[in-house]
Amino acid sequence: MEWFGGYFAHKRDCQKKRDSRTTSLISLSQPYYHPHLDQSPILASSLAQLISNVQQGIWSPQLVLRAYGQRAVEAQRETNCLTEVMIESAERWAEKADITGPLAGVPGMPSPPCSRSPSAARTRARADAHPVSLKDTCNVAGYDSCIGYSAWTFHPKEKDGAIVRLLKDAGAVPFVKTNAPTCLLSFESYNDVFGRTTNPYNSAYSPGGSSGGESALIAYGGSIVGVGTDVAGSVRVPAHFCGIYTLKCSTGRFPRAGNTSAMPGQEGVKACYSPMARSLEALGVFLKAVVDMKPWEYDASCDPLAWREPALPPKLTFGVLPTDGVVRPFPACARALKLCTAALAAEGHAIVTFTPPSPLRALQTASQLLIADAGATALQPFRWGEKNELGFARMLWPMRWLPRWAKRLWAWWIDRVQGDAVWSALVRDWGAKSYVEQQVLVVERERYRAEFLAAWQDQGLDFLLTVPNATPAVPHNALRDTFASCGYTFLFNYVDYPAGVLPVTRVDAALDQLTEKPENAVEQGAWKWYDGTKMAGLPVGVQVVGRRLEEEQTLRAMEIVEAALRASGVDYEV
């Protein structure tokens, strides 16, 4: 009868946790619902100017917190993006915040006026005394990190994770935590505990995942900068879906220790913590602040690599990956990529089509490494009746319940009878792996990484451009059919290269109608949800990729892309 009791415990704890969140929201003081001052100057400020104004005493840390706290409350009402509301604690942290701090340059000295140049801003200001939002995985002492599992509710953490300790030491003020999907393996953000997070541009569509609560909050204006995680695109796809900025760091560049994971110990394709922001300027200021705090002194897995201001040649070579050979990009995504390459070419940069080792081959191995236990670890906390995300659940069925011979027969049928070599290649080897089988996959991963680097060097690339996903934001529950179209982001976790996303344009019903037919089952699953008319107005981004551990250069390349777009008349406003 354990399953019977587990079902009712699940229902009870989900309701109790939602009630607890509601109580935290309604108990906030009056300034969070009826502010006495116009807070629009704070919300419209760049991160560098915000920090400068706090340091000069123009704004207090509490005033900034209340401005973003009020906006976060509004974002929660519209998108259901919050999990833990830490604002009362943040008020106390803000009172103690060192507004000169270890990152503030010369204490008491006013900063020069801020220009629109993100790289210039980074030389003047750092991340002190401003609110920071956190994905629910980030451990904060005294608060849950249940990440959607009802069994993990009401088990507050005893101490802060590495990134939270670093941020507090820097004078930043964590103030809310944000929603994520159960198991953290989806481009949707739903769980039974907190419910579904929606896209601020269209509530019928996903904000992405698994850092979808962050993307919804930041896009709504409820946070200027936040922290998410990425193992297959989990900061980049949400940024693309919601029209914000992010840079997935290489492993070892950003602290991740001491936090909560659905798959602790998974090392085949490592997850990485990374920043998400409303502007490229804020992204750069925040990332530099974290690196300047010497994250290797907070997390033993971080490389002792100080910030290096990039010195790039005036003209660069950008490779372009127009398709991963699995799912061709939707018209809106392909158009955004073309806008970028045309703008860069107009500025004199070289544009070449990049031919990497087979991305399908990478997707095959990466998916097996990521879920080498066939989901057993991620499913352990589940109670009877607890819903899994539809896409991951569909993937688990053949992994866990079909015997190997049946999968091989199924794959043969898909390939030889249905003529779909792509889908066949993916499903053939899904399943739990022995230790020896995992080692074989790791050897293949390292072989692929060497071949990828050789292709990059042989083709003389400085950076690479591609779409962040084949689709813009998709309707809720579409991940049941689109879960396998993650290759454009997963590839760069697999090779461990930094990859940033910036918004470029929005879906245009007149320009972005789909006229072609799908060529395989993965593509068919993704394309069935595309409707250029219904999707009109949704954000569309581009992905900018650099070499491993070269986050500074990749950030600079993002600035170059955005500047070229603006020079060509394409100026996206978040």
Same domain? For 460 and 335 the reply is yes
Are 258 and 373 in the same domain? no
CA 310 from centre of chain: 24
Average pLDDT of the residues of the chain: 93
Domain that includes residue 35, residue range: 13-297
- Whether 8 maps to a domain, the answer reads no
Among 320, 326, 327, which residue's Cα sits nearest to residue 530?
327
* pLDDT recorded at residue 392: 87
Asked whether residue 302 is assigned to any structural domain, the reply reads no
Q: Based on the domain organization, do 260 and 409 belong to the same domain?
A: no
In a domain, 413, yes or no: yes
pLDDT at 115: 40
Residues 226 and 340 in one domain: no
In a domain, 241, yes or no: yes
Residue 329 shares a structural domain with residue 289? no
135: annotated active-site residue: yes
Asked if residue 184 belongs to a known ligand binding site, the reply is yes
Task: Give yes or no for a contact between 290 and 126, defined as CB atoms under 8 angstroms apart.
Answer: no
pLDDT at 419: 92
pLDDT in tens, 267-324: 999 999 999 999 999 999 999 999 999 999 999 999 999 999 999 999 999 999 999 9
**Residues 221, 147 within the same domain:** yes
Q: Which of 46, 52, 223, 234 is catalytic?
A: 234
Whether the pLDDT of residue 91 is over 60: the answer is: yes
Residue 30 pLDDT > 50: yes
- 246 and 333, same structural domain? no
Asked whether the predicted pLDDT for residue 571 surpasses 60, the reply is yes
Query: Is 453 marked within a binding site?
Result: no
Where does a domain end: 297, 331, 349?
297
Please give the structure tokens belonging to residue 408. Answer: 């091989």
Q: Are residues 286 and 402 in the same domain?
A: no
Mean pLDDT of the 530-538 span: 97
Catalytic residue among 46, 52, 133, 135: 135
Looking at the structure, tell me whether residues 280 and 331 fall in a common domain. Answer: no
Domain boundary among 265, 297, 329: 297
> Does the structure show a pLDDT above 90 at 112?
no
For residue 3, the model assigns a pLDDT of 63
Structural domain total, the chain: 2
3-state secondary structure of 258: coil
- Asked if residue 4 belongs to a domain, the reply is no
* Pair 158, 231 in one domain: yes
Is the pTM value of this prediction over 0.85? Answer: yes
Q: Residues 323, 329: contact at Cβ < 8 Å? A: yes
Confidence bin at 120 (pLDDT 50/70/90): very low
Is residue 6, in this structure, part of any structural domain at all? no
Domain end (from 297, 325, 342)? 297
Going by C-beta distance under 8 Å and a sequence separation of 6 or more, which residues neighbour residue 311?
none
Q: Measure the CA–CA gap between 494 and 490, rounded to whole angstroms.
A: 6
What are the pLDDT digits (tens) for 148-199?
Answer: 999 999 999 999 999 999 999 999 999 999 999 999 999 999 999 999 999 9
Name the catalytic one among 46, 210, 223, 274: 210
pLDDT of residue 1: 46
Structure tokens at 573: 């406003």
Residues 346, 206 share a domain: no
| pLDDT (mean) for 65-94 | 97
Q: Could you tell me if 142 and 221 lie in one domain?
A: yes
In a domain, 452, yes or no: yes
pLDDT at 2: 59
Q: Is 234 part of any known ligand binding site?
A: yes
Say whether the peptide bond before residue 119 is cis (omega within 30 degrees of 0).
Answer: no
Looking at residue 487, which CATH number applies to its domain? 3.90.1300.10
- Asked whether residue 309 is assigned to any structural domain, the reply reads no
State pLDDT tens for residues 556-565: 999 999 999 9
